[in-house]
Structures are given as C-alpha cells and as structure tokens.
Structure 1
Amino acid sequence: MTENGRLATGTPPQVDEAFVDRALDDADLNALRLALYQATRDESLLEVPLRTTPMYGGALDQTVVAEEAVPDLRARVKEFLLDKPSGFTEEKPDDAELRRMYEAFRNEELTEQDWAYRRDLAAFDDHPRLARWTGARPPIPEGFQVAVIGSGFGGIAVAVQLERLGIPYTVYERRPELGGTWSINAYPDVRVDTTNFLYQYFFEKNYPWTEYFARAGEVREYLQHVAKKYGVFEHISFDTDVREAVFDAGTGRWTLDVVTDGRARTLTANAVVSASGLFATPKRLDVPGIEEFRGEIVHTAECTGQERLDGRDVAIIGNGSTGVQMMSSVRERARSVGVFQRTPQWISPRERYGEPISPETRWLLDTMPYYWNWYCYSVATLRLGGQVLQEPDPEWQAAGGLVNEANDGYRESLTTYVKSKLGDRPDLWEKLIPRHAPMARRLIVDNNWYASLLADNVELVTESIERFTPTGIRTADGKERPYDLVFTATGFATQKYLWPTRYEGLDGETLEDRWNEPAGGGPRAYLSITVPRFPNLFIMYGPNSQNRSGSLIVWMETWARYTAEALVALIEGGHRYLSVREQVFEDYNRRLDEAMLSLIWYDPGSKDRNYYVNEFGRQQVNVPWRLEEYHELLAKFRPEDYDFA
C-alpha cells in the first residue's frame, strides 16, 4: 500500500512528450474534452464538433470528437498536462453544472428521468448512493444487530452503508475468504466480462486495475481492499454457514442457526440481508452412467485452480459464459478438448477484453483531473441506447423484420463476425450461428473461442449426450469419445435464490414454499428486495433484479441504499419490524409481468433453454424496465409501501 491507501503500481514512469502522446493516442478524447473543460472552464471546449459513429451494425452509437478537431484538442490537453497550474485543486460540480456538462458530452437533452438516473454515473460525490439519517443520528436500540449473509459485491455494499450509518452488523461468510462468486470460481482464465470501469464500486475512486477486464484474483484483492478500507473486514465471520433463519413476531427478531468451523450455534438479529447471490448453487449434470465414469468430473464452480490439464483428454460441457471463457486456456495445455454444445450462443467481441491497462493510460487516469470520472461516464452511458435491442417493434416485424431495426442490424453484425472467425469452415456456420435473436439470452464474450475451435486438438460436438461410460462420453449418434477429465460448465440453479438458507417468516411460512407454488410463477419480490410476511428480510440480487444494460454494481449500491433507508425508517420510527404490504407486492408484480411480455426474453427459439426463464415459464432474472425507470422506482424508500409493527 502507498501512503494514501492506494495500491502500489510499480516504478513511476518517465514522462516526456512522447509518453504523453502515447497516452493521448489511447485515450477517450471526448472524456478528456469534458475533463479539460472542467479544469479550465474554457467554454470553447463545449463547442468542439462531435460526430456519431455507429457500432455493432448500428445497434449502438458512439459519440467521438470530430477528426478535424482532434489535433487542436490533443494539443490543449497536452499543454495542460505538461504545465498544470501550480496549486490546482479539484472541485465537485453542482447539479446544474453537471447536467450541463452531461448534455454537452453527447450533444443531447436529458429528460428529468434521464438526469436522475445518470447523476451519479460520473461519481463526483465522495459516496454516491449513500443512505442518510433524516436528522442527527438517533440512539441505536440496545442489542440491535443486522445479519448480512455473504461477502461478495452485494454483501460488502450493504456493510459499507451500515458502517457509515453506525448500525451494528455482522457479515456471515460460509467460505474462508471474501469475494462471493470471485472466491467460488477458480476455473481457467476466469475474469469479469464487463469492463472494470463499470464493474466497480463508485465510492472507491480510480482503483489501479491492471487490466480492463480483471481476472478473479484481482477482483478478490479489490474486494478485500474495499472491505478493509471502509471498516467492513473486521465485521466478517468467515467459515460461518447460516443454515436457517426463523422470524419471531413477538420479539421482532430473526433466530439464526449457524455452523462456524463445524460448531453449531444460535444467534439473533433484528434484520437479515441475504447477499448470497444469484450464481451460488451449481447446477448439476444429470446424465445416465455418470457414476460409472472413472475419470474426474469437476463443475466449474468447484475448480480449485490446481486441476491437472497437461497431456489430458478434456471435455467441456457447455458453451455459456464459463465454457467459452475457459476453453482457449484449456486447449493450450490439454492433449485434446471436446467442446459439447447444446445450443448455439451469440458470442461477441468486446473492446479491450484481455488487454492490460498501459502505464501511459494509468498515468493519464492518475494525472488528468476529472478524467477518471468522465471515462467512467463515457463507458456507463455508451450502451444505454442498446436497451432498444430487447424491445420488439411490431411494425418492423409486420414488414418482414425479425425483432426491430437495431436488433436485426446487430444480428447481421454478429453473424459476419462469426463467419470471419471461422475462416474457410462454412460447415461450422450452421452449427454455431444461433436461430434466436441477440439479447434473448445472455450475450457471451469471445475469449478466443471461435479461433480455438479451429485448432487441431479441439472437436466441436453438437450431438446430444446419451450417457457416460467408464472411460468417456457416448453421444446419441452412438459415438464414444474417451476423456479423463470433464468440466461441467452447466451454470447455476438460478431458481434457488437465498439458497441454501431456509427462511421461515410469519405463521411458519417458508420462503421456499411460497416461491414453489405454481400459481405464483416462482421467486418474486417487491423491487427485487422484499417479500410480504418475511419482515426485516432484504435481498440483494433478488428475483427480477438483473439490469438490462450498464453496471450491475451500480444496482448493488442502489439496493444497498434502499435497504439501509428501510433500516433508517425502522430505527427512527421506533418500530420492531416492517413488512411490504401484500397489495403493493401484487400490484408491482402484475405490472412487472405485463412489462415483460413486450420484451425479447420469451423468444420461442430460446425460452426453453434460457436460464432467465424458470420451470413455470416465467422470466424471473431480469428487470423489464429500462434503467431510468427502474432507478425511479428505487430512488427513495417509501414507508407507505410497508406495514410497521
């Protein structure tokens, strides 16, 4: 660590004009334009001409500085960087100024709803999305305690809110380290598939990531850094598994049955926040003969990182995010690899995936005032327009289109990409180009997957698996292939929210029973966070919470703020517990189901093999509203939606 709490990043670079030129070559010049304006207040910078560049077949539009304006802008930024005024101090813009700059960034006019959602995306506040007491902090009731279950991004986001408010809490983590999914997953080449300039807390400024898409180990280091810096780490109880939580209406407390280091004990808490995550329970492969197989079978969520690959015959079952991400790395070491694909996926390139952040870019982020803020804003807002990809256009379809103009253009762009990566192998096109529309399922990032399929030691297998044999896998065409190591990249049981903890609310009702009722359509919650008759229980990354675009971590912070505001209302009002009103819950989910019908996730070519859609035929993972609308619903805790006792 350095003196200011930042992680050390090595020897400072030798900065000369050539170094600065290289930094500018790789920079987001539009973000630099706004940063320079903010630093100098030179109004002419707001008049710099811009142009719009279509991306992904017109699915997105990128706003960039017009070519004729680039040399002058570069010269002005370079002059500022090499001769920054002495005594320069950064200042936070007020809302009017910030909104004006936002509108100048892409020459657009923001609606009130747009502005409300975007306000915090450049992260100028010390702690965006922070819950606060309505006045002076009141006395906390004696013995008041919040139990946070899980120490991934969601659990730490909640804990930071509680720490700032001074509300007592303990984070219970069943593993020996923090990190959530970034502790669980250690398969080859595991990394984020969203750039770290989105996949980060926005209260932790300009963290020195080494890559644009960090590997799992670096993400764990980041979470540990945040937990320690913000006082959370000492509140984590590791190797502690919460098996059951039962609510007592008389005391207004939850009784928790936990096992710590193999020892059972009983604890109580006034409130419980489940941050166990959506991707916590592996989905097991169910194939005849699997118990007869004499080799190794490893679910990717149970990899240790120490699996022996060299010289082995390896099967990877699954071509979702994990199977695609790991395959190139496995192929480089294994003697042979069989890639078992059930359904073709849309697998797309992503800018800077796998690239290190250069010393020049690191220096620019650290040196140019406000550049980190505007770079984050640029990345965060680029794909907002892409939400239209999920919205079928009936008029376009009536005229012969498949989804809408943008989605069809994106499909054409992705199809061209797939064919370009497969070279002279048109025989693979039919097997690898999906029939369902892009965005109907989760989009996969290409980690050299298509190129690896062309390697001599890789075989793509599209026939269905009939059974395991003692020495390999037999497919429906009768062919048996020998393997001694099988990775099952079969994903997670996403219907098992809050699993494996058993929650019992009022009158002995369990959450699992409530969510297993066919008439209910599976897991549901109000705003994805609360469930009627389960008082003082809050869910992070709950049913229908996954955002349609942008940063998941922004929503982690938003759910955490909402939860903390609920606890503020509970404590300030002197109440024992709160529970979302049944009618509020029902009305919300009725509107949610209606909104879902107008979106792409029920695409007939995809819904039967889509983890978004549960066994009851209901899309239970994604929120149907655009980000701006969902933000409006969560912007403030509404006491009138709840019964208090």
Structure 2
Amino acid sequence: MTIAETQSESTDETTREQVQRAIAHADLNALRLAIYQATGDADLLDVRLTRVAQRGGSVTKIDVDERDAQKVKDAALAFLLDRPAGFTPRVPTDDEARAMMENFWDHRIESDDEFVFRRDILAFDEFTRPAEWHVDEPRIPEGFRVAIIGSGFNGLILAIHLQRLGIPYTIFERRGELGGTWSINTYPDVRVDTLSFGYQLSFVKDYDWTEYFATGAQVRDYMEHVAKELGVYEHIQFHSDVKSVAYDEKSGTWTLDIELDGGREQTHASVVAAATGLFNAPAKLTIPGAETFRGDILHTTAWPEGYSLEGKRVAVIGNGSTGVQTMPRIAREAQHVYTFVRTPQWISPRENYGMPLEEETRWLLKNVPYYRNWIVYSTVAMGLSTQAIQEIDRDWVAQGGLFNERSDQFRKNLTDYIYGQLEGHPELAEQLIPDFPPMARRMIVDSGWYRALTRDNVDLVRDPIERISEKGIVTADGTEIEVDLIVSAVGFAVDKYLWPMEVHGRGGRSIEDKWNAYDGPRAYLGMLVPEFPNFLVLYGPNSQPRSGSSIQAWFEQWTRYIARLIVATIEAGKSSFEVTEEALTRYNDEIDEASKDLVWSDPTSRERNYYMRGERNLVSSPWRVEDYYRRLDTPDLTHFDLR
C-alpha cells in the first residue's frame, strides 16, 4: 500500500507507519517551523540546530541536531494523525513571520529590506507580489491595450498581473507553443539547475513536481498549467513573430509589424513589453570551415525531436551550463564523444540532481500545512549567503589572499571536488582547474560531467580549435578529429536583448542606435530607456540578480513593477510614461561603481565572460538582493516624464 492510498483512511497502525516513513524523508527544520506554525507548540522553537555544508561548501544548510530530531518527528506525527477538525491555515503577521524566520536560521534579520525579501520567499499570501488599484473604479483609457512579446515566464506573469487589474492585453508568441527558453531548448537532459520547489511561482504553489530538478518538459508543462489555470492562455496569439515595433508620437501608440503563418499584419498597442528574455539569441558557431562539414551541426536550441545519437562520433563544443548538462547524456548513447574545453569552469555538486522526488516527500508537500512554504524558504534563503563570496576583501588580498576568505575556501573545496571526481585521473583534473575565482562566471551544476570524462568513449580535448573540416575538427596542432555530429553548446549573445526585432522610438530612432550612443545596452532598472515611452525590456541590461535567490521571485518582481507603473500612470490621469535621461544616467553610474568590488570584475575572468563587455558588467545587478528588490517595489514617478 502506498502512502497516497492511505490518505483517506482512518488513523490506524498502517497509516501511522506510512506517515512516519514520510516524516523520515522530511527536511526537519522546515517541518519543525511548519508544525510550530500549525500548532503553536513553543517547544519546537527550543531545539538545537546544526550546520551542514552543501554545494561544495558555498552554502550552509541549517538542520535540526540529531539530539532533538525525535522531538520534531513526534510533534509532526501527533499533528498529522490527529489534525484538529476545521483546521485552516492562516497568514502570519509580519512580527510572527520575522520571529519564525529568525528562529529557523538562528540568525537576526538586520534590516526591514532583508525581512521583506525573505517574507516574500515564504509566500503565505494567496498572491504574494500584487499590483493593485488605489481607487474603487479605475478609469482605463478607451482603447488602452498592452502588447506582450514572448510567452516565457516573464510574459505570462505580466499577463497575470494585467488580468487581475482588468487591463486589456495580448501576448504575441512566434512559436506554436508557450514556454520561451523551455520551448526552444529540448537538447538531451535539459533541466533546471535550481530545485523545482524554488522554480515555481509564489501564486501557483501546489504543483506536483516529480523530480528535485525538473526537466525542461515538466517546466513547460507547468507553464502551460499556469497559463490555463489563470486564464491567460486564451490571450496568446501563437505563430506571431513581431518583426518591428515603432512609436507614433502623434497618437501616442506603438505599431507592431507581425509576421504570421502565410502573411503579415499590423496592430497597435498603448504599451509594449518585450519579454523576449536574456537567452533569446543563440550565439553563432564562428569557427572557420563550418559550412564545409559533411555531418550535422546542431545548436542546443535547435535539437530535432527524436534525433538519434546511436553509433555517432560526437564533438561537444562548449563547457558552460548547457554543454556540461548534456554531455553525460550524449556519452551514454553515442559511440564516442570528444569534449572540447577552451576555458575550464567552476562546476559544483548539487545534492539530488537528476533524482526523482520520493513519494514520501511529495506527500509531505501536499499534506503538511506550511511545509511547502518552509521548504522553499530553506532552499532559496540558503543561497543568500553566497553573496558574500562575490565581494572582494581588499585587506584579505593585501595579506596574500586571492579574493576573500570564503571565496578562497570555496575554491579549495571545488578543486578537491574535481580531483575527487576524477580520482585516478590526475592528468585530467590538472587541465580543468580554472584560474579565476568561483562565481566570477555563472556557477555550473555538475550533472556527472567529470565522471563522464573517465568513460572509455569520452575524450577531453584542450587543444584550441583551428577550423572545421569536411570530416570533423582540426586542432591547432594539426590533428583532425573525425566526427559525425558537432554539438554547438556555445551559449547566447546576451547583448542582443531584443534580437532580431527592430525597435524605433521618438523621432524614429532605433534602440540599437540609442544603446550605441552609450557603451552598449543601458536601461533604468534594467527595463526602461529614454526616448522609448511606454516600452519595457524584461530581463534587460543589468537585471540578472546576484546569486542566492530564485529567478522566479524576480520574474514576479519585475512584472509587478511594470504593472504598478501602468497603474500609477493611469491613476495620474496620464497615458504615457518615459524615464528621464537623468534618472538612467544616475542609476547606471551607481551600477558601474557598485560593480567594481564584485567578483565578475576580476581581471582573470573578464575575457570570455558573458557577464562582461570589456570592463563593464552588462548582465547582472550589483546590488545585494534585498537592495535590488526594494528598488523594484514602487515606481518613483519623479524619475519619469508622464504625459
């Protein structure tokens, strides 16, 4: 009998055993706070805690000390076997939430900004990050409509905000299905590299994930579930490729030129939100001779359905997140794999990666009040401490250290991990130690990549690639490696934020021209550009949050900001908003100054680092997450020209 089959049975010994088995799989600290919140049992606040290093020592998980573990298990069992009739979960007050969070970590929350950020991770409210009207009967201008370009997470969440506000909108999606990144990327073993719990939206919590790290297919299914459940699916216009948008100063509207299946159309909108994302423009394989290759060349964003690797000799070019994720799976199916590594990356372990969620864990998530909230909090908040690893300690460096004490220890841990994974193959390990600090580039999750390198059918190639021939790849020493398939895992052109769409603002000026007048793409809060009224870029320049938080929280925060800006404009009796040049300049000056002391500006990692363009950080926000979150809370209308 499974635990699911016992849920409706009366409390008997079999049920007791099943629940006990589920409790044995629990995160005891998350379970402790969940049961305390449900029962008010103050004894659960008085337990001993222990710290457990995870992810190569970059983070510390707080768990219940084994000396008090049974006390927590007994309290949970008693509640789950004899839940009070009519029990109804409630949202705690801010004081209650703060006290529980501090007890969870045995750590004082120092600022209100940090508290708000952490409280919203818990997401006890039905809708955690809302945008709301401040008047009973808002007057939406006649014909007012928002055009959303792209049906990835940002596009869907913005649509949900607008739906709640009653603001008309349409999502234009160039593909035949929603999903954005999760529709485009279907390469072998594509999946999230953060825990599924932390990848869900705060307002659609009760999804039954089947793996700790969801596959791409399940993420896309989740997105479709969200879109249909919340009524935005019917507002998506598929097979609609927006080629250009242009602002008409006379009417104060945008004209969208859209390529459809078998035709073209124009439509108009009051506001345009480009939810095309950071990873929408695949980087091209620029190696000479690619056009002469007689085999297949596949970018990981264009993997054909049902493509067979059986019997093939495969070259995998790239060891970023995608290359590392897919190579072990390719190695299990192909005849032989050659992994080409130009620049070694820091690759860290991740507990339960690729593993199914146990039935017992899924039962806990469904049946224990507040447990899902606290397991998400445990997962996400655990990573917040990694921000300290990103910040240079100049006194430490002056004393002979490399970056800061925690960073240097993390580097040692990861180096030991590499040697451990490649035990018996020190010659491989020595070739794969990066010369830059951890987190200077995006940390990569080990999907079994190091172990795959020890397979008989896998070769590591460190020699630079000179060209591609008819038969394969020629390295700088003249060696020709014959292959049948070249996998291009070379990432994305992240500075092409709106590619290939053309955007023309006031006076017909293109946004590319505007950005070229700076030193590349610049935006206020990563979203707004002067001379482009009522136009927003989602996941735009310098908007990627620093390590240690769920990207879903940022999707929700960015889109809430946009919805609140639209609300503020309408309530002010205006129809357009345009950020001032002064506000953009001041904001970006702050970004540049704050970026100087962060790890991605380290000279050893600037080259070939997609975060950087020369000495400038192009992609990431330099603020600590609670500071960045506050900046995105409420629009400061003094930074805008409202008309």
TM-score (normalizing by structure 1): 0.96
The Cα offsets for residues 91-124 of structure 1, whole Å up to 9 and x where unpaired, read as: 1112221112111111222121211211211110
The Cα offsets for residues 536-575 of structure 1, whole Å up to 9 and x where unpaired, read as: 0111111111111211110010000000011101222221
Instruction: Give, in angstroms, the shift of residue 54 of structure 1.
Output: 4.0
CA distance in 2, matches of 1:82, 1:147: 51
Instruction: Give, in angstroms, the shift of residue 586 of structure 1.
Output: 0.4
Q: Which residue of the partner structure matches residue 3 of structure 1?
A: none
CA distance in 2, matches of 1:36, 1:613: 46
Q: Which residue of the partner structure matches residue 641 of structure 2?
A: 643
RMSD (CA atoms): 1.4
SS at match of 1:16: helix
Instruction: Give, in angstroms, the shift of residue 419 of structure 1.
Output: 0.4
Q: Which residue of the partner structure matches residue 602 of structure 2?
A: 603
The aligned amino acid for 2:619 is V
The aligned amino acid for 2:187 is Y
Structure-to-structure mapping, 1:474-623, within 5 angstroms: 474-517=474-517, 520-549=518-547, 550-614=549-613, 616-623=614-621
Instruction: Give, in angstroms, the shift of residue 380 of structure 1.
Output: 1.4
The answer to whether structure 1 residue 284 and structure 2 residue 284 are counterparts is yes
SS at match of 2:314: strand
Q: 1:269 to 1:57 in 2, by over 3 A?
A: closer
Structure-to-structure mapping, 1:429-468, within 5 angstroms: 429-468=429-468
Q: Which residue of the partner structure matches residue 314 of structure 1?
A: 314
Partners of 2:52 and 2:63 within 8 A in 1: yes
Give the % identical residues.
Answer: 49
Structure-to-structure mapping, 1:296-307, within 5 angstroms: 296-307=296-307
Partners of 1:57 and 1:412 within 8 A in 2: no
Q: Which runs of 5+ in 2 are unaligned?
A: 8-13
Of residues 589-598 and 95-104 in structure 1, the stretch that sits farther from structure 2 once superposed is: 95-104
The Cα offsets for residues 117-141 of structure 1, whole Å up to 9 and x where unpaired, read as: 1121111010011100112141322
CA distance in 1, matches of 2:625, 2:313: 45
Q: Which residue of the partner structure matches residue 372 of structure 2?
A: 372
The aligned amino acid for 2:543 is S
Partners of 1:252 and 1:270 within 8 A in 2: yes
Instruction: Give, in angstroms, the shift of residue 11 of structure 1.
Output: 6.1
Q: 1:465 to 1:10 in 2, by over 3 A?
A: farther
The Cα offsets for residues 323-377 of structure 1, whole Å up to 9 and x where unpaired, read as: 1101111111111111011100111111111111111111111111111111111
Instruction: Give, in angstroms, the shift of residue 499 of structure 1.
Output: 1.3
The answer to whether structure 1 residue 99 and structure 2 residue 124 are counterparts is no
Q: Which residue of the partner structure matches residue 184 of structure 1?
A: 184
The aligned amino acid for 1:504 is H
Instruction: Give, in angstroms, the shift of residue 57 of structure 1.
Output: 6.4
SS at match of 2:62: strand
SS at match of 2:410: helix
Of residues 15-24 and 399-408 in structure 1, the stretch that sits farther from structure 2 once superposed is: 15-24
Structure-to-structure mapping, 1:343-382, within 5 angstroms: 343-382=343-382
The Cα offsets for residues 256-281 of structure 1, whole Å up to 9 and x where unpaired, read as: 11111131111100000010001111
CA distance in 1, matches of 2:353, 2:192: 9
CA distance in 2, matches of 1:617, 1:264: 42
Q: 1:53 to 1:594 in 2, by over 3 A?
A: same
Q: Which residue of the partner structure matches residue 114 of structure 2?
A: 114
Partners of 2:182 and 2:220 within 8 A in 1: yes
Partners of 2:313 and 2:337 within 8 A in 1: yes
The aligned amino acid for 1:375 is I
Q: Which runs of 5+ in 1 are unaligned?
A: 1-8
Structure-to-structure mapping, 1:26-41, within 5 angstroms: 26-41=25-40
CA distance in 2, matches of 1:172, 1:247: 18
Partners of 2:3 and 2:363 within 8 A in 1: no
SS at match of 1:474: strand
Q: Which residue of the partner structure matches residue 270 of structure 1?
A: 270
Partners of 1:570 and 1:576 within 8 A in 2: yes
Partners of 2:173 and 2:240 within 8 A in 1: yes
Q: Which residue of the partner structure matches residue 18 of structure 2?
A: 19
2:624 to 598, 609, 626: 626
CA distance in 1, matches of 2:137, 2:606: 49
CA distance in 2, matches of 1:139, 1:348: 52
Instruction: Give, in angstroms, the shift of residue 430 of structure 1.
Output: 2.0
Instruction: Give, in angstroms, the shift of residue 314 of structure 1.
Output: 0.7
Q: Which residue of the partner structure matches residue 257 of structure 1?
A: 257
Instruction: Give, in angstroms, the shift of residue 13 of structure 1.
Output: 5.4
Of residues 451-460 and 60-69 in structure 1, the stretch that sits farther from structure 2 once superposed is: 60-69
The aligned amino acid for 2:593 is E
CA distance in 2, matches of 1:444, 1:271: 37
Q: Which residue of the partner structure matches residue 420 of structure 2?
A: 420
Q: Which residue of the partner structure matches residue 242 of structure 2?
A: 242
CA distance in 2, matches of 1:398, 1:26: 46
Q: 1:178 to 1:57 in 2, by over 3 A?
A: closer
Q: Which residue of the partner structure matches residue 10 of structure 2?
A: none
Partners of 2:391 and 2:404 within 8 A in 1: yes
Q: 1:477 to 1:13 in 2, by over 3 A?
A: farther
The aligned amino acid for 1:583 is E
Of residues 163-172 and 85-94 in structure 1, the stretch that sits farther from structure 2 once superposed is: 85-94
The aligned amino acid for 1:238 is F
SS at match of 1:432: coil
Partners of 1:526 and 1:585 within 8 A in 2: yes
Number of positions where the alignment pairs a residue of Structure 1 with one of Structure 2: 634
Partners of 2:4 and 2:363 within 8 A in 1: no
Structure-to-structure mapping, 1:102-251, within 5 angstroms: 102-110=101-109, 111-251=111-251
Instruction: Give, in angstroms, the shift of residue 606 of structure 1.
Output: 1.4
Partners of 1:60 and 1:385 within 8 A in 2: yes
Q: Which residue of the partner structure matches residue 5 of structure 1?
A: none
CA distance in 1, matches of 2:128, 2:52: 31
The aligned amino acid for 2:379 is V
SS at match of 1:533: coil
Partners of 1:51 and 1:64 within 8 A in 2: yes
Partners of 2:192 and 2:216 within 8 A in 1: yes
